[in-house]
């Protein structure tokens, strides 16, 4: 049933990073009297999604529960597409909001297109222009831009990318990144955790690695590099909260579990993780979201990918693209550990991703749909 004088907005997400960046939107929408907010999760992730929902206290109205162990892109796409057909038919939203570049977001936008329901795309306009890097995310986000009616871009650069692809100026809103809205609520100087305690007195590195295109040889090469770093520097420790993907876990445990200064741990609650990176010396990652968070915290990041859709962090000086080659990663780590000037250059806190009010700006636009 539609409530009189309200826009019915269905917010859909399925993975950890989408949840971290969409829960602030859900929270904001729920404060608005002119928006009737419904939440659907696909469950593309299970434990890693539920962790975030619990922390932000968001209870979904719909849960497709699609996750399977070692699921393929075909599994995620087909299960989301057919699942969303039923949800959209039941919910009848005025607008569907999706986030970023996951297969949940892509398949949901396709379902909305098939039912001719307008789509709002949060974190719109990021590009590498290389369809295989990151894979399949670059395709997903380009495809979503084709169907979206409202593009919520985190930066002017993202807006520019959309303009180059012919999206009309009045459909693009530069809002900042909703991930910064989340970060504003989690980082606290007095935050205490056992793992931060364990790192005290050392130079603590934090690593995450999960990308599909890195699984196999590139990941092995990344892990060999960090092992060499740990062997060379006795004052360095490393924490790696491992993604739940069993293939990633197998490689990580095989290669890194027996080192006394490496801690392989379970995926962390987002507030714990944000405070951990705030306590880190530097970060090694192939993640997207962490590239946005680190510039705010002034933490150098070595990005273990060949491309990035986040050039703002490169411009801010916080990120350095190092690819997945063992030797290049090893030398980049050495430079940060040996050269105080280089370390200093990459450690200045700058935030290219907005002032933490992106969700409010998005809600303002949705209210005006009335």
Among 28, 123, 137, 138, binds ligand UD1 (CB under 6 A): 137
Residue 149 burial class via C-beta count within 10 angstroms: exposed 0-12, middle 13-18, buried 19 and up: middle
The angle at the Cα of 110, spanning 106 to 111, to the nearest 5 degrees, equals: 120
Q: How far, in Å, CA of 20 to CA of 105, rounded?
A: 14
Cβ atoms of 25 and 98 within 8 Å: the answer is no
Binding mask 274-293 for ligand UDP (x = CB under 6 A): x------------xxxx--x
Residue 44, contacted partner among ligand UDP, ligand UD1, none, CB below 5-8 A by kind: ligand UD1
Question: Which stretch, 4-12, 23-31, 41-49, 194-202, contacts ligand UD1 (CB under 6 A)?
Answer: 41-49
Contact flag: residue 306 with ligand UDP (CB under 6 A): no
How far the first Cα of the chain sits from its last, in Å, is: 16
Using CB under 6 A as the binding rule, the residues of this chain from 256 to 275 that contact ligand UDP are: 267-268, 270, 273-274
Closer Cβ to ligand UDP, 148 or 297, answer by number: 297
The CB-of-123 to ligand UD1 minimum distance in angstroms stands at 12
The CB-of-30 to ligand UDP minimum distance in angstroms stands at 21
The CB-of-117 to ligand UDP minimum distance in angstroms stands at 25
Alpha helix ranges (H) inside 100-155: 103-114, 137-147
Cβ atoms of 271 and 191 within 8 Å: the answer is yes
What is the DSSP secondary-structure string of 165-221? TT--GGGEEE---HHHHHHHHH--TT---HHHHHHTTSEEEEEE---GGGTTHHHHH
Contact flag: residue 14 with ligand UDP (CB under 6 A): no
Question: Which stretch, 68-76, 111-119, 199-207, 308-316, contacts ligand UD1 (CB under 6 A)?
Answer: 68-76
Instruction: Phi first, then psi: give them for residue 151, nearest 5 degrees.
Output: -110, 115
Contact flag: residue 210 with ligand UD1 (CB under 6 A): yes
The CB-of-102 to ligand UD1 minimum distance in angstroms stands at 3
Which residues are identified as catalytic?
A: 101, 123, 137, 210, 212, 243
Contact flag: residue 93 with ligand UDP (CB under 6 A): no
Question: Which stretch, 19-27, 45-53, 189-197, 320-328, contacts ligand UD1 (CB under 6 A)?
Answer: 45-53
Instruction: Phi first, then psi: give them for residue 303, nearest 5 degrees.
Output: -95, 110
Nearest to 348 by CA among 305, 296, 309: 296
Contact flag: residue 222 with ligand UDP (CB under 6 A): no
Question: Which stretch, 182-190, 237-245, 306-314, 319-327, contacts ligand UD1 (CB under 6 A)?
Answer: 237-245
The CB-of-214 to ligand UD1 minimum distance in angstroms stands at 10
Among 21, 38, 45, 299, binds ligand UD1 (CB under 6 A): 45
Which two three-digit tokens encode residue 78?
Answer: 């087909």
Q: How far, in Å, CA of 8 to CA of 339, rounded?
A: 54
Contact flag: residue 102 with ligand UD1 (CB under 6 A): yes
Torsion of CA 198, 199, 202, 203, to 10 degrees: 160
Cβ atoms of 5 and 370 within 8 Å: the answer is yes
The contact set with ligand UDP (CB under 6 A) reads 16-17, 20, 179, 208, 210, 241, 267-268, 270, 273-274, 287-290, 293
The contact set with ligand UD1 (CB under 6 A) reads 15-17, 44-48, 67, 69-71, 73, 76, 101-103, 136-137, 210, 212, 243-246, 288
């Amino acid at each position: 049933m539609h409530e009189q004088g309200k826009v019915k907005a269905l917010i859909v997400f399925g993975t950890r990073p989408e949840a971290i960046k969409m829960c602030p939107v859900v929270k904001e929408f729920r404060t608005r009297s002119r928006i009737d907010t419904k939440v659907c999760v696909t469950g593309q992730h299970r434990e890693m999604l539920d962790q975030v929902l619990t922390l932000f206290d968001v209870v979904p109205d719909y849960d497709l529960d699609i996750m399977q162990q070692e699921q393929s892109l075909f599994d995620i796409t087909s299960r989301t597409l057919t699942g969303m057909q039923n949800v959209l038919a039941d919910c009848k939203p005025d607008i569907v909001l999706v986030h970023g570049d996951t297969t949940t977001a892509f398949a949901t936008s396709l379902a909305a297109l098939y039912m001719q329901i307008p789509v709002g795309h949060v974190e719109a306009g990021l590009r590498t222009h290389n369809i295989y890097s990151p894979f399949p995310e670059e395709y997903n986000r380009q495809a979503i831009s084709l169907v979206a009616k409202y593009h919520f871009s985190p930066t002017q650069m993202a807006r520019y990318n959309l303009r180059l692809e012919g999206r009309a100026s009045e459909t693009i809103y530069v809002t900042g990144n909703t991930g910064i809205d989340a970060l504003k609520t989690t980082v606290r100087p007095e935050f205490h955790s056992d793992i931060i305690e364990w790192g005290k007195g050392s130079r603590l590195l934090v690593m995450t690695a999960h990308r599909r295109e890195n699984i196999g040889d590139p990941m092995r090469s990344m892990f060999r590099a960090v092992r060499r770093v740990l062997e060379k520097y006795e004052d360095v420790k490393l924490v790696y909260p491992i993604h739940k993907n069993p293939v990633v876990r197998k490689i990580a445990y095989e290669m890194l579990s027996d080192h006394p200064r490496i801690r392989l741990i379970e995926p962390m609650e987002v507030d714990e993780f944000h405070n951990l990176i705030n306590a880190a010396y530097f970060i090694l990652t192939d993640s997207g979201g962490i590239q946005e968070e680190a510039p705010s915290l002034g933490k150098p990041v070595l990005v273990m990918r060949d491309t990035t859709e986040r050039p703002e962090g490169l411009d801010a000086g916080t990120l350095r693209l190092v690819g997945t080659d063992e030797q290049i990663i090893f030398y980049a780590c050495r430079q940060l550990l040996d050269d105080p000037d280089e370390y200093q250059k990459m450690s200045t806190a700058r935030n290219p991703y907005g002032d933490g009010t992106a969700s409010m700006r998005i809600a303002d636009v949705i209210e005006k749909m009335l």
